[in-house]
């Protein structure tokens, strides 16, 4: 495993994984201009079929928003990722979310970051898209293998790093 990590660093690739079971879509198809116009960065989203939210990368938890709707991650290669659960869900003051990690925790694609009460989001007329946004410029290219229906925590693509 350590050899694989060394090769990964030398090849300057960061693997990306699906954060939930559901429909994987380009960030440009999210129904929110801030995200779809990549104002916070490029990325992808999953329209979830269940409540589980997993880490899209191997890295460390750098921040958890007080409203529990967003979790910041950082890879050992310096890539910063924001996992944002739902659209306009900050207004819900954390009510539909349960977070299972803390700042400083090491994570990988099998780490359950949080769960979200999808029924509550629907009742509050909030979209449930789980967004994965690369928030810094430590990469050259985002590659997603294929969009469409995905299982949770499976390999979906990578970032070519600078």
**pLDDT in tens for each of the 162 residues of the chain?**
454 454 444 559 999 999 999 999 999 999 999 999 999 999 999 999 999 999 999 999 999 999 999 999 999 999 999 999 999 999 999 999 999 999 999 999 999 999 999 999 999 999 999 999 999 999 999 999 999 999 999 999 999 998
Sequence ranges of the domains in the chain: 2-161
Is residue 84 annotated as a catalytic residue, yes or no? yes
- Is residue 53 within 8 Å of 113, Cβ to Cβ? yes
- Is residue 2 within 8 Å of 94, Cβ to Cβ? no
Return the residue matching tokens 């290219």.
Answer: 141
pTM of this prediction exceeds 0.85 = yes
Among 51, 114, 103, smallest CA distance to 73 is for 103
* CA of residue 13 relative to chain centroid, distance: 17
CATH 3.60.70.12 fits 2-161, yes or no: no
- Is residue 79 within 8 Å of 137, Cβ to Cβ? no
- Is residue 20 within 8 Å of 46, Cβ to Cβ? yes
Catalytic residue among 84, 85, 114, 161: 84
């Amino acid at each position: 495993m350590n050899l694989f990590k060394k090769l990964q660093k030398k090849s300057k690739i960061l693997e990306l994984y699906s954060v939930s079971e559901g429909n994987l879509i380009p960030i440009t198809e999210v129904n929110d201009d801030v995200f779809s116009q990549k104002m916070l960065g490029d990325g992808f989203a999953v329209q979830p079929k269940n409540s589980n939210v997993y880490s899209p990368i191997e890295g460390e938890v750098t921040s958890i928003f007080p409203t529990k709707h967003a979790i910041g991650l950082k890879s050992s290669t310096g890539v910063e990722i924001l996992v944002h659960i739902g659209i306009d869900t900050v207004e819900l003051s954390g009510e539909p979310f349960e977070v299972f990690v803390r700042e400083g925790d090491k994570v990988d694609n099998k780490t359950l970051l949080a769960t979200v009460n999808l029924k509550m989001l629907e009742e509050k007329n909030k979209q449930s898209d789980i967004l994965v946004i690369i928030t810094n410029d430590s990469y050259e290219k985002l590659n997603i293998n294929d969009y469409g229906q995905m299982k949770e925590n499976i390999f979906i693509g990578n970032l070519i790093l600078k």
